Amino acid sequence: MKERVQEVLEKIRPDLQSHGGDIELIDVKDGVVTVKLQGACQGCMGAQMTLKMGVERVLKEEIPEIVSVEAEM
């Protein structure tokens, strides 16, 4: 499943990079995806919304087994 998650993140990455940010996949365990937000995303006030309403939503649409997406600090 980790490979599938990485493929989806590669589709999302250009949007984040266009705003000076990026995302790194840390782990996938029991349907929980752990990522690290990088660049401008790290200190952005909207990072949590981007994570839940953007990244998590897309991952759940593409991979129904995903339960949630959490950010590693």
Q: What is the pLDDT along the chain (73 residues), one digit of tens a residue?
A: 999 999 999 999 998 899 888 999 999 999 999 999 888 777 777 788 888 888 999 999 999 999 999 988 6
Q: What is the pLDDT of residue 14?
A: 93
What is the third-level CATH fold of 2-71? GMP Synthetase; Chain A, domain 3 (3.30.300)
> Taking a C-beta distance cutoff of 8 angstroms, is the pair 63, 49 a contact?
no
Quote the CA–CA distance of 59 and 6 in Å, as a whole number: 10
Whose CA is closest to 39, among 55, 68, 61, 15? 15
3-state secondary structure of 11: helix
Quote the CA–CA distance of 73 and 63 in Å, as a whole number: 24
Q: Where are the beta strands (DSSP E) in 1-67?
A: 21-29, 32-39
